[in-house]
């Protein structure tokens, strides 16, 4: 009985924590799998397949997220995925499927061509590793599994997403070289393959780095918003910041709620919060930027529907109808870095935090990845930065968040 009472109290607390949307007046049945809240066969099928794959023989255990988080072009990550799913058309696999072909490696002609040989045992592949600057990773004793899938998952679990990305590009170049030889009779030296992989990764990251935040037009203010879900905390946290035409920080805000809502609902909620904050501050020419394509499209298309998400969109649209100089725009994640960082940092502050005073936030990066964020006073008081520097941190970017 006691347990039951505490369970129902838990439920009651959960209900009270649910954020309310002012335009929703009555309870209704909502199909969660669709953004408009209405049932469709497509989403029903997807849900059923999810249960099937989650429960039976189709599910392959492994660090799949590690593959998709790799910092590399999609084609290279897709190659890793094909390798782990065992669906790359190597000669040994083709023969198993009754395709007539010779069995030997087309590049060295010394051993049977299977995945392990092409990427890890073939002399040409092995010689390309050092030119790509990856021999210490690929020769590591931890990654000598006889199964290619186990090798890749081990690399994904132990190396940074940048290193996994570089490995992915190198494997892609090795596969491309094999096909080039097979179909076009083009032969590359192993050093060229490795060098090409090295350059391709550098070009790709530089290109990704060129995408940066842009200043708003004269007399306009730009507001970036973002939401974050910190795993294990059960919290949804939001971050937003206002910057002027010279790029100076005007104000920032973070907030977290002890509730987990869907990411689109979180994005919509944060944007609504930002618009209310802009109204409160008397700003009327504001360009709001979010990296949620779904949200921005829903606003531009003035979508209507049953779901919580579209109810928040409805509130945003009605606010925008009284503020005709509120604009919303989609931006890529890289252009939304400050809001993204603030949302992730929200957890280290009180549930509502407004940066009125001068606060300096330190971003600690390994490569292009922000691994942590903290207030400078906290960092200095704990000596945490020195400890962190020892862990191979080579970029510490500071920005001054001074209120005007």
Interface segment toward Zn ion; rule CB under 5 A; list 103-111, 226-234, 347-355, 374-382: 103-111
What is the CB neighbour count within 10 angstroms for residue 355? 20
- Shortest spacing between CB 178 and Zn ion, in angstroms: 9
- Count of chain residues binding Zn ion (CB under 5 A): 4
**What single string gives the DSSP state of each residue in 329-343?**
EE--GGGGHHHHHHH
122/240 with CB nearer Zn ion: 122
107/193 with CB nearer Zn ion: 107
What is the CB neighbour count within 10 angstroms for residue 21? 19
- Shortest spacing between CB 200 and Zn ion, in angstroms: 22
Determine which residue in the list 21, 80, 107, 132 makes contact with Zn ion, applying CB under 5 A: 107
- Shortest spacing between CB 390 and Zn ion, in angstroms: 42
If phi over 0 gives left and psi between -120 and 50 gives alpha, with beta otherwise, what is residue 97? Answer: alpha
* Site map (CB under 5 A) of Zn ion, residues 16-45, x = contact: ------------------------------
Which of 120, 55, 116 is CA-nearest to residue 86? 116
- Shortest spacing between CB 110 and Zn ion, in angstroms: 6
Determine which residue in the list 21, 72, 76, 105 makes contact with Zn ion, applying CB under 5 A: 105
Give dist(CA 257, CA 137) in Å, integer. 41
**What single string gives the DSSP state of each residue in 188-249?**
--HHHHHHHHHHHHHHHHHHHHT----PPPTT-EEEEEEEEEETTTTEEEEEEEEE-TT--E
Q: Does 193 bind Zn ion (CB under 5 A)?
A: no
- Shortest spacing between CB 128 and Zn ion, in angstroms: 12
- Shortest spacing between CB 217 and Zn ion, in angstroms: 58
79/105 with CB nearer Zn ion: 105
Which token pair is 220? 């306009």
Residues 113-132 within binding reach of Zn ion (CB under 5 A): 122
Cα separation of the two ends of the chain: 57
* Site map (CB under 5 A) of Zn ion, residues 60-99, x = contact: ----------------------------------------
- Shortest spacing between CB 167 and Zn ion, in angstroms: 19
Phi/psi of residue 263, each to 5°?
A: -65, -40
Phi/psi of residue 209, each to 5°?
A: -70, -20
193/268 with CB nearer Zn ion: 193
Which of 274, 270, 276 is CA-nearest to residue 19? 270
Determine which residue in the list 94, 95, 108, 320 makes contact with Zn ion, applying CB under 5 A: 108
What are the residues binding Zn ion (CB under 5 A)?
Answer: 105, 107-108, 122
């Amino acid at each position: 009985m006691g347990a039951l009472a505490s369970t129902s109290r838990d439920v009651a607390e959960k209900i009270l924590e649910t954020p309310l949307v002012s335009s929703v007046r009555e309870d209704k049945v909502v199909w969660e799998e669709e953004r408009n809240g209405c049932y469709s066969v497509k989403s029903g099928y997807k849900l059923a397949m999810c249960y099937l794959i989650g429960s039976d023989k189709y599910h392959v255990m492994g660090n799949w997220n590690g593959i998709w988080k790799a910092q590399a072009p999609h084609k290279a990550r897709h190659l890793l995925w094909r390798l782990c799913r065992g669906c790359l058309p190597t000669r040994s696999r083709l023969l198993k499927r009754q395709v007539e072909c010779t069995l030997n490696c087309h590049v060295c002609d010394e051993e049977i061509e299977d995945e392990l040989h092409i990427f890890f045992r073939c002399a040409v592949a092995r010689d390309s590793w050092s030119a790509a600057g990856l021999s210490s990773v690929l020769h590591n004793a931890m990654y000598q599994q006889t199964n290619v899938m186990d090798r890749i998952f081990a690399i994904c679990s132990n190396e940074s997403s940048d290193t996994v990305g570089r490995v992915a590009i190198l494997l892609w170049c090795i596969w491309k070289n094999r096909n080039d030889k097979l179909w076009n009779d083009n032969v590359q030296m192993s050093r060229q393959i490795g060098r090409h992989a090295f350059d391709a990764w550098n070009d790709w990251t530089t290109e990704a780095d060129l995408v940066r935040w842009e200043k708003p037009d004269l007399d306009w203010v730009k507001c970036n918003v973002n939401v974050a879900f910190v795993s294990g905390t059960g919290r949804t946290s939001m971050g937003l910041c206002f910057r002027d035409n010279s790029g100076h920080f005007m104000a920032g805000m973070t907030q977290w709620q002890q509730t987990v809502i869907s990411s689109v609902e979180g994005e919509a909620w944060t944007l609504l919060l930002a618009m209310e904050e802009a109204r409160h501050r008397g700003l009327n020419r504001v360009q709001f930027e979010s990296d949620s394509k779904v949200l921005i499209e829903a606003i531009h298309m003035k979508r209507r529907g049953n779901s919580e998400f579209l109810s928040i969109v409805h509130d945003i649209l009605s606010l925008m109808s009284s503020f005709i100089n509120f604009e919303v725009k989609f931006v890529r994640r890289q252009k939304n870095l400050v809001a993204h960082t603030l949302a992730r940092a929200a957890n280290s502050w009180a549930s509502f935090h407004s940066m009125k005073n001068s606060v300096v936030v330190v971003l600690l990066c390994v490569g292009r990845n922000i691994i942590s964020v903290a207030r400078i006073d906290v960092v200095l008081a704990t000596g945490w930065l020195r400890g962190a520097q020892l862990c191979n941190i080579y970029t510490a970017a500071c920005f001054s968040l001074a209120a005007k």
